[in-house]
Amino acid sequence: MNPYLLVIILSLVEGLTEFIPVSSTGHMILVEKFINSPYVTKSFMDNFLIIIQFGAILSVVVYFWKDLTPFVKNKEEFKEKMSLWSKIIVGVIPAGVIGLWADDYISEYFMDNSTIIAVMLIIYGIIFIFIENKTKGKSKINSIKDLSYKLAFIIGFFQCLAMIPGTSRSGATIVGALLLGLSRGVAAEYSFFLAIPTMAGATLLKLLKNGVSFTGTEWQLLILGVVLSFVIAYVVIKWFMDYIKTKTFRVFGIYRVILGILVLLLMR
């Protein structure tokens, strides 16, 4: 397959799946496996699958800029922004520590394992199908202002579950947040906020380990991927935040289960 067409497909998959609970990494690994290209090296593709997330990170920053920016004149508003960033930092500590410790192990034993990806898609799909029944009417936190540092830290541990491909970073975070009493909207919003340092850190770690010695063509592919993932992810975030105001997460659970079963059948 033409490398530019492969990059376009992977960028669309990244943008569409990064911030909804269906596992973007799992999707991209599966797509790259089934639609392989002899014109790009494995080392470049491994870097591409990580670096492309930078576009998605930027989409979160742009979409939530008014909520995130500390550049405000009002002192009370500045305190609120600092409080928010403090909760984001606390929430990302578990992923930072465990990620540094387990990154090489996960990359070696989990990243190319289609069976694990399929199984995790199914397991978390089932959880999402039933999570609404478990938490219906029990949300106590309807604003990030009401989120304690203790709960932020615990949600950070749920995010670590997504280090296994097929789990979904947003999915694991949202499940943990819902179980801890956050409303759907606040759970999704905090998941987006945690994505900024988490995904930026993962991207930087991979670049430090693998280097940035790309050819001119590879740089073009990377830039194209980042731009496309930014545009698509921004649209998806806007849609998702409107969707969860009135809808549940069950549809994502059903989708995950069906996809996981299909992957298992195709591997036979």
Break the chain into its structural domains and give their ranges: 3-267
**Are 95 and 160 a contacting pair, CB within 8 Å?**
yes
pLDDT higher than threshold 60 for residue 137: no
Query: What predicted TM-score, i.e. pTM, was given to this entire model?
Result: 0.85
Buried b (16+ CB within 10 A) or exposed e, 58-78: bbbbebbeeebeeeeeeeeee
pLDDT tens column, 51-78: 888 899 999 999 999 999 888 888 888 9
Q: Which residue has the higher pLDDT, 135 or 178?
A: 178
How high is the pLDDT of residue 95? 86
| Closest residue by Cα to residue 57 from 157, 204, 161 | 204
The C-alpha atoms of residue 249 and residue 83 are separated, in whole angstroms, by 29
Phi-psi domain of 127 (left: phi exceeds 0; alpha: psi -120 through 50; beta: other): alpha
The C-alpha atoms of residue 153 and residue 211 are separated, in whole angstroms, by 32
Q: What is the mean pLDDT of the chain?
A: 85
H or E stretch covering 57: helix 53-63
Output phi, psi for 72, to 5 deg: -130, 155
The mean per-residue pLDDT over the stretch 16-43 comes to 77
Tokens of 222: 């990377």
How high is the pLDDT of residue 242? 92
Q: Where are the alpha helices (DSSP H) in 18-52?
A: 24-34, 42-51
Of 86-95, 111-120, 144-153, which range is least confident?
111-120
